Amino acid sequence: MASISYLKKTRNDDVGIKMSIARLKLSLAEIAKLVQGEIRGDDQIEICGVAPFEEASGQDISLAGEAKFLKRIGESKAGALIVPMTCDADDGNLVLVENPRAAFAKVMAHFHPQAKPSDVVSDKAHIGEHVSMGGNVQICPFASIGNHVTIGNRVIIHTGVVLGDGVTVGDDVVMEPNVVIMERCCIGNRVLIHAGTVIGSDGYGFAPEGEQYLKIPQTGNVVIGNDVEIGANNTIDRATFGSTRIGNGVKTDNLVHVAHNVTVGDHTLLIGQTGIAGSATIGKHTILAGQTAVAPHITIGDHVMVGPQSGIAKSIPDNQVVTGSPGMPHKTFLKVQRIIQNLPDLRKRLLGLEKKLKQLDHLQKG
């Protein structure tokens, strides 16, 4: 029943943790410059952090991008607010911008910068042979770097990450704990991969022979572009031949499944629990909402929006808004949804019509 205490808990603990959330004062003038905005109010007020509209205090900047908050600007206790250019309020300190949400993201990024790599390779990590690393690479305990791996500059490989043989990793990459990148996969620059994600597992390819299925070796890899963020516990399979490709700027949510030989175009969003079957092609600037399934070998165009829980079995041209299983134009889907709930009533009315018509028919003949 011994108590192992590496450190008595002291007030220093709290200090230490708070320190990890960087706080860097900016004047409102500096913030306006950062977001290319215009100031209405006091441009010398000092801002120490960001907070949501309801919780912001006098040292915080907050966001009133939507009508529901714009109406309540007077109620805010924030030191300053980021608002759209069209805002005509004249109380408080305002930063007017074209794109309030993007401006807020930039200010948040200033006050909560990404952790910097420590330039320490833990002696509890495993480093294979013929590994090449750039500058400022941090490798945490129990990470395992295979043979012939190339890692760029300013990369953080967190605890328990496994990089297979021949993997290449670009600059400014962060791999959260227990990420697995299987052999020969390529990761671009400025990529963030969340914990538990597996990249480069074998594609699901089998050839039936008699009672059995023969494995079709999956000899390709996965290539991930620049500025990509992959959510937690994703699975992205390697191609049978060639590469499964995740374009630049793609963002995936958690528990997303991308099968072998899929191509996901630049700046496309895959929302939680979406699954894309083998050899499907997803265009650029497209959004697949949560729990959507995409059939194998089809093509979804650019600038397509697919609603949640959709089952997309046929190719979709560019610029469509599609929802449902089967996928249909979103407007049709909304009508169909209303009707589906009323099917018992419609059926009753149909039966009523049949009865009435039979009576009429009888009268007619009678």
CB of 333 to a copy of itself, least distance (A): 9
136 secondary structure, DSSP code: S
Among the listed residues 45, 61, 83, 140, the single contact to a copy of itself using CB under 8 A: 140
Among the listed residues 25, 71, 116, 215, the single contact to a copy of itself using CB under 8 A: 215
The 185-214 site mask, x for binding a copy of itself (CB under 8 A), equals -------x-xxxxx--xx-x-xxxx-xxxx
Tell me, what amino acid is at 286? Answer: T
CB of 71 to a copy of itself, least distance (A): 18
CB of 261 to a copy of itself, least distance (A): 10
CB of 319 to a copy of itself, least distance (A): 15
Asked whether position 55 contacts a copy of itself by CB under 8 A, the answer is yes
Our answer to whether residue 260 is catalytic in this structure is yes
Residue 193's alpha-carbon distances to 26, 80, 145, 167, in angstroms, are 30, 34, 16, 15
Burial (CB count <10 Å: 0-12, 13-18, 19+), residue 127 = middle
For a copy of itself, the closer of residues 41 and 291 by Cβ is 291
Segment (H or E) for 299: strand 299-300
Distance of CA 32 to the CA centre of its chain: 28
Asked whether position 64 contacts a copy of itself by CB under 8 A, the answer is no
Map tokens 């134009």 to a residue: 329
Asked whether position 34 contacts a copy of itself by CB under 8 A, the answer is no
CB of 294 to a copy of itself, least distance (A): 9
Cβ–Cβ < 8 Å for 271, 287: yes
- Smallest Cα–Cα separation from 107: which of 24, 170, 190, 189? 24
For residue 77, report the phi and psi dihedrals to the nearest 5 degrees: -100, 5
Through-space distance between the first and last CA atoms of the chain, rounded to whole angstroms:
97
CB of 44 to a copy of itself, least distance (A): 26
For a copy of itself, the closer of residues 20 and 86 by Cβ is 20
Residues 274-333 that bind a copy of itself (CB under 8 A): 275, 277, 285, 290-291, 293, 295, 308-309, 311, 313, 324-326, 328, 332
Map tokens 């006050």 to a residue: 111
Listed in sequence order, the residues at least 6 apart from 346 whose beta carbon sits closer than 8 Å to its beta carbon are 339
Asked whether position 112 contacts a copy of itself by CB under 8 A, the answer is yes
Listed in sequence order, the residues at least 6 apart from 245 whose beta carbon sits closer than 8 Å to its beta carbon are 222, 223, 225, 262, 263, 264
Asked whether position 346 contacts a copy of itself by CB under 8 A, the answer is yes
Asked whether position 105 contacts a copy of itself by CB under 8 A, the answer is yes
CB of 83 to a copy of itself, least distance (A): 15
Residues 70-89 that bind a copy of itself (CB under 8 A): none
Region near a copy of itself per CB under 8 A, out of 39-47, 67-75, 79-87, 156-164: 156-164
Asked whether position 41 contacts a copy of itself by CB under 8 A, the answer is no
CA-to-CA distance for 263 and 250, rounded, in angstroms?
11
CB neighbours (10 Å) of residue 244? 29
Among the listed residues 11, 68, 86, 344, the single contact to a copy of itself using CB under 8 A: 344
Asked whether position 123 contacts a copy of itself by CB under 8 A, the answer is no
- Crossing angle for the helix pair 343-365 and 330-341, nearest 10 degrees? 70
The 221-250 site mask, x for binding a copy of itself (CB under 8 A), equals ------x-x-xxxxx-x--xxx------x-
Annotated catalytic residue within 194, 257, 260, 285? 260
Positions marked active-site: 260
